[in-house]
Amino acid sequence: MNKNRSGFGAYMGLTFLIGCGFFTMGLMDPLYDTYVPLFLRRYIHSNAAVGGIMTLDNLLQLLLIPVVSIWSDRTRTRIGRRMPFIVVMLPISAILFALIPSMAARSLAALIIIIFFFNIFKTSVRGPVVALMPDTIPGEFRSEANGVINMMAGIGLIIGTLVLAQLMKINDNVPFFAAGICIFIAVAILLIFVRERLPEGEEVEKNVPVFQSIKEVFSTGDSSVPRILISLFFWFMAYEGAKPFLGLYLVESMGADESNAALAQGMAGISSVIMAVPAGYLAHKFGRRRFIRVSLIFCALILFLIPVVGLVAARLSLSSALSLILFLLLMFLYGAVWIGIVVNSFPMLWQMASFGTIGVYTGLYYTFSQSAAILAPPVTGAIIDLGGYPGIFIFGGICMLIAWFTMGGVKSGEVSQTFEILEKDI
């Protein structure tokens, strides 16, 4: 039986295996985002300066991900076009990641040098890891598949924030070393079990110059691509603006212990894991654009509620423990809604791509998302310095509403009409 007519279930096992690559990203990112700012604060006292340094990885992503993604489009080896990048760069990333705490203990210069080289390798491999899924999963099932692999990333986030972060009580090095071991295991699973295949009938050997490929994307006359890219710029302004400061917010504003600094991301990670797969199926049923816009509205409402709840808790003189619980509950809800945006935005872009341009669209996604990630932390750091932590949540809510508006004119990127007809025949 044709796999497409069998539904997404025929691709479930393969998707979970591909998700091992996303698991490594989910494992590293929250530990990095939570504890590197704390390491930096041992030497630097300005939130704006910390935010500026934390944009280093985003700057490298802006420069490297599009280039490496398109490079992997043109790569041909016996193990595939994405896998050579994965099996070389992810293990090196794991080693460098494990060294971050020991370098932080030496000096600010040592810390900055190690995070620079770590981000070179981790950033370079992200595009091939992401593009591996649309290479192997048909377009009509990519929302469901993206839900599964984001669930795997969420599991990595939960392990990183709620399990490995607790090992900070033993030693700063232990959670980073443990994460490195997990990454080596994930790479071995990918290499052994995932086999890249070229789709039948595709002219994959045709190489189009990079700038011509990008020009062709924007010369179709359809405004859907630029509208999606502008939208994701703004919703990542909201997300990336708050993320580096959540740990500091818990420690400095809510009085949490440093070992609990990753709780906010952990709670969001749990709800993301729970909702990742349902978000893919629901968007397939009700429409990706509609689902994303509804999710954006709820994200904005939750972000606006956080400072309001904090103000009410202060007025009512609620205990710090109860205030913390209310904040973590809102972060849990935020993660459940945010994952609906993440799961379905990439498949909308991939739906417009051919096999030979998957890397181009992946690169464009990261060009706009990382532009936001570069700009957002210094802006929100300055907002904190000027008006306190509540400002970053208000800023995020406004950005979500702007993204909701620009997504309104998107017309492409839904599941194909052809598949809908097939679906009715099953």
Kindly state the DSSP code that residue 220 receives in the 8-state scheme.
S
CATH number at residue 45: 1.20.1250.20
- 204 part of a folded domain: no
- 66 part of a folded domain: yes
pLDDT of the chain, 426 residues: tens digit per residue: 455 556 788 888 888 888 888 888 888 887 888 889 889 988 988 777 887 787 777 788 778 888 888 888 778 888 888 899 999 999 999 999 999 999 999 999 999 999 999 999 998 888 888 888 888 888 788 888 988 988 888 788 778 877 888 888 888 899 999 999 999 998 999 888 887 766 544 444 455 565 666 666 666 667 888 899 999 999 999 998 998 788 888 888 877 777 677 788 888 888 988 998 899 889 888 889 999 999 999 999 999 999 998 888 878 877 777 888 899 999 999 999 999 999 999 889 888 777 667 778 888 888 898 889 888 888 998 999 898 889 999 999 999 999 999 999 888 888 753 333 333 332
Kindly state the DSSP code that residue 172 receives in the 8-state scheme.
T
Q: Decide: pTM greater than 0.85.
A: no
- 202 part of a folded domain: no
Kindly state the DSSP code that residue 55 receives in the 8-state scheme.
T
Residue 38 CB coordination number (10 Å): 17
- 284 part of a folded domain: yes
Q: How many domains does the chain have?
A: 1
**Which domain covers residue 356, as residue numbers?**
3-196+211-425
C-beta contacts of 44-50 below 8 A and 24+ residues apart? 44/108, 46/381, 46/385, 47/245, 47/248, 47/381, 47/382, 47/384, 47/385, 48/378, 48/381, 48/382, 48/385, 49/381, 50/244, 50/381
- 353 part of a folded domain: yes
- 205 part of a folded domain: no
- 244 part of a folded domain: yes
- 385 part of a folded domain: yes
Structure tokens at 43: 């030497």
